[in-house]
Amino acid sequence: LALSGKRDLILHGRDATRLASVRRRCQHPERHREWTAGLADPAAAGESLSDFLRSSGLRVAHFVHCAGVASVEPIRHADPSHVAATFKVNVLSAAAIVKALLDADPLRESLRSILLVSSAASLRGENGVAVYSATKGALDALVRSLAVELAPQIRVNALLPAIVRTPMSQATLDNPAMQDVLARKYPLGTGETADLAGVTEMLTSESSRWTTGSLWTVDGGRTLF
């Protein structure tokens, strides 16, 4: 998003040092700001954002919720507190941030679009990802209802990637036993983060002004099978 040179970004992370380093590596770092907050406590994250917006005077036009946690384990091994923690980061923090953004913009003069990063895992069954998939299914449902509730001023969509090379997927992508499986399941090969940038740009711009409540699968063809 920074590469387009058209955006003033508020970058979010929970590690201030790493966040500052990301901002410095962006095109036009002086145009971007940093908001540091953890998302494990969604209500506190919402309050932190409200404080940040109040003290900075910044207004938000587009919101992308990307943070997420995933673990692969059969449901019989799932610790209930871990399940709750996964829902807090993946789903409840998105709802809390949307609420904080709406509270900061009661007349809906600024906010134009919301994009929640879900997953192709919400669409199909896989072993070991029931909890993660459930959080992403909840995000999809959140998108559909928010799209109705916030129209016509604010559009709300979901991005559903399949496997993309990031720290989250590194172990799977680097596992020699997975290479044949991935080659069979991905007609266009596995993804890179750059493969998601264009669609993110589009869904958070006027190019998609007639698009709301949509689930955008960007998956190298994974969900064809």
Ligand X SMILES: NC(=O)c1ccc[n+]([C@@H]2O[C@H](COP(=O)([O-])OP(=O)(O)OC[C@H]3O[C@@H](n4cnc5c(N)ncnc54)[C@H](OP(=O)(O)O)[C@@H]3O)[C@@H](O)[C@H]2O)c1
Residues catalogued as catalytic: 132, 136
Residue 125 CB, nearest approach to ligand X (Å): 15
Cβ-closest residue to ligand X?
68
3-state secondary structure 117-152: ECCHHHCCCCCCCHHHHHHHHHHHHHHHHHHHHHCC
Contact between 47 and 100 under an 8 Å Cβ cutoff? The reply is yes
Measured from the CB atom, the residue of 111 and 116 that comes closer to ligand X is 116
Q: Is 119 exposed, middle or buried (0-12, 13-18, 19+ CB in 10 A)?
A: buried
Which residues contact ligand X by CB under 6 A? 13-15, 38-40, 66-70, 89, 117, 119, 161, 163-164, 166-169
Residue 216 CB, nearest approach to ligand X (Å): 12
Measured from the CB atom, the residue of 110 and 199 that comes closer to ligand X is 199
Measured from the CB atom, the residue of 72 and 151 that comes closer to ligand X is 72
8-state DSSP, 191: B
Nearest residue to 156 via CA among 220, 75, 214: 214
Buried b (16+ CB within 10 A) or exposed e, 129-159: bbbbbbbbbbbbebbbebbeebeeebbbbbb
Measured from the CB atom, the residue of 58 and 64 that comes closer to ligand X is 64
Residue 219 CB, nearest approach to ligand X (Å): 8
Measured from the CB atom, the residue of 48 and 212 that comes closer to ligand X is 48
Residue 90 CB, nearest approach to ligand X (Å): 6
Nearest residue to 183 via CA among 222, 125, 128, 218: 222
Residue 210 CB, nearest approach to ligand X (Å): 25
